[in-house]
Amino acid sequence: MNMRSLRVRLLAGAAAFILVALALAAFALTSLFERHVTQWMDSELANHLDQLIAGIDRDAAGKIVIARTPADPRFQKPLSGLYWQVEIAPAGPVYRSRSLWDATLDLPAEAVIDDDLRSYELPGPAAQSLHVVERRIALPARLDGKTARIAVGIDAADLAAAKRNFASALLPYLALLALLLIAAGSAQVAIGLRPLAAIRQRLTAIGAGTQTRLGNDFPEEVMPLVSEIDAQLDARERQIEKARARAADLAHGLKTPLQVLASDAERLHAKGESEIAGEIDDIRAIMQRHIERELTRARSSAANMNVATELLPIAQRVLRVAQRTPAGERITWTTDIAPQLAARIDADDLTEALGNLVENATRHAAGAITLRAQTEGDVIALAVLDDGPGMSAEDAEIALRRGGRLDTSGSAGLGLAIVGDIMEAWDGALNIETSAPGGNIVLRLPAAIKHKPVRRQR
């Protein structure tokens, strides 16, 4: 049992409360039953006592006797558990029920108030504990005005047995009630935690790009949490926009110095200082690649994951640009991408990565390039295939290495390693297939959830 679970804590607390409450209820019901039975028993014993009082009389010799005894047959059976005893005072005779056999009830010395009914516990015959009801009365003048103490007792074990039987009969019902209450408590906890499950589902949807905020259709108790999460999402979105703006400003600020270096290299080359010009141009190219790579990484690290972009419009846009280049005019282009197929990636990042792959393909293709996309479970594989010489496993490793570059001619492009950075930022991967003939570079991206709103490109 994981006590860190809120559900487990609530259920454990509810179950403990229910069990304690039912235990107290069982104690209260048993005590109430015992009190009721005791009152009923006192009433029955009082009836027997009244019968004994009514039966006190004189016989023919003038002696005080019990002319009529209670009719209950247990008074006639020895040690039956039901007894009576009458004491005539002062110095009068003591009369007992046959059930006492040769024993006598040892009534307490303190006398009861006249005509007042008193009940108490008293040791009885055969080690029995008796529940006794007693009354003291003054006999009428015809009975010499003497005092009589009349006591009727019953074995208290009968009361204890009735209490045990009641508790035994009550226990199964209380157990069933406990199960029902715990089940009801479990249902109540499940219903009460539904808003938290809804928050989790919506956070998953936000991560997948199906929505951007949790919303405000939650119970009042969880709205502070929801509002705080939405506020954090707002702050995160502002940070993303600021990061993108800073990256763009940095790129713009470095563009002019790099152009100056390129111009200086050209002037030196025109003056015949080709060696120095080449070194400057190589340094400029290295700086260009590093700057562009770090800007791409910075922009991708601030990527908003709540996007979904259709692949076909992006591919068509990239191909339109590539077809206008001198190298692209000689290429036969083929697109095999289903409409509505969407991946979880920013459209600009996908355009940049795919444009780089298409640019590389145009430099090596013999005459045909194909863009193909297919789903592989929760992943979309977007492949750029060309009919060029392909790439060996060693070259593929160099191309994907940090700073690696197979083509040192200074042509445009971020390099495959930068494309790999973009893929990594979007939980994707860049693979270079070396087993098939020709070039085959695959972008593997997380697929956007079905029926989600996507970002369309025109």
What are 155-183's pLDDT values in tens digits? 988 888 888 999 999 999 999 999 999 99
pLDDT higher at 259 or 335 = 335
Q: Is the pTM of this model over 0.85?
A: no
Q: What percent of the chain has pLDDT over 90?
A: 29
pLDDT over threshold 70, residue 449: no
Contacts by residues 291-295 (CB-CB < 8 Å, ≥ 24 positions apart) = 291/251, 291/254, 291/258, 292/251, 292/414, 292/418, 293/414, 293/415, 293/417, 293/418, 293/421, 295/247, 295/250, 295/251
The per-residue pLDDT for range 378-392, each reduced to its tens digit, is 899 999 999 988 877
The per-residue pLDDT for range 400-433, each reduced to its tens digit, is 665 455 454 443 334 677 788 888 888 899 988 8
- The structural domains of the chain, with segments of one domain joined by +, span 6-162, 210-306, 307-458
pLDDT of residue 236: 83
CATH fold group of domain 307-458: Heat Shock Protein 90 (3.30.565)
pLDDT of residue 337: 94
pLDDT of residue 409: 44
Q: In angstroms, rounded to a whole number, what is the distance separating the alpha carbons of residues 428 and 340?
A: 19
The per-residue pLDDT for range 25-66, each reduced to its tens digit, is 999 999 999 899 989 999 999 999 999 988 888 887 878 888
pLDDT of residue 455: 43
pLDDT of residue 112: 56
pLDDT of residue 303: 58
- The answer for residues whose C-beta is within 8 angstroms of residue 13's C-beta and 6 or more apart is none
Beta-bridge partner residues of 83: 153
pLDDT of residue 404: 52
Q: In angstroms, rounded to a whole number, what is the distance separating the alpha carbons of residues 232 and 378?
A: 28
pLDDT over threshold 50, residue 271: yes
Alpha helices (runs of H) in 95-219, residue ranges in sequence order: 156-208
pLDDT over threshold 70, residue 351: yes
The per-residue pLDDT for range 218-241, each reduced to its tens digit, is 888 889 999 998 899 889 888 877
Beta-bridge partner residues of 295: none
pLDDT over threshold 50, residue 210: yes
pLDDT of residue 249: 79
Task: Look up residue 115 and give its two tokens.
Answer: 């005509």
pLDDT of residue 456: 41
Three-class secondary structure of residue 441 per DSSP:
strand
370-385 mean pLDDT: 93
Average pLDDT over all residues of the chain: 83
301-317 mean pLDDT: 79
pLDDT over threshold 50, residue 452: no
pLDDT of residue 379: 92
Q: In angstroms, rounded to a whole number, what is the distance separating the alpha carbons of residues 18 and 188?
A: 14
121-137 mean pLDDT: 90
Rg (CA), the chain: 50
Q: In angstroms, rounded to a whole number, what is the distance separating the alpha carbons of residues 371 and 355?
A: 11
- Greatest mean pLDDT among 6-10, 363-367, 371-375, 403-407 lies in 371-375
pLDDT over threshold 80, residue 298: no
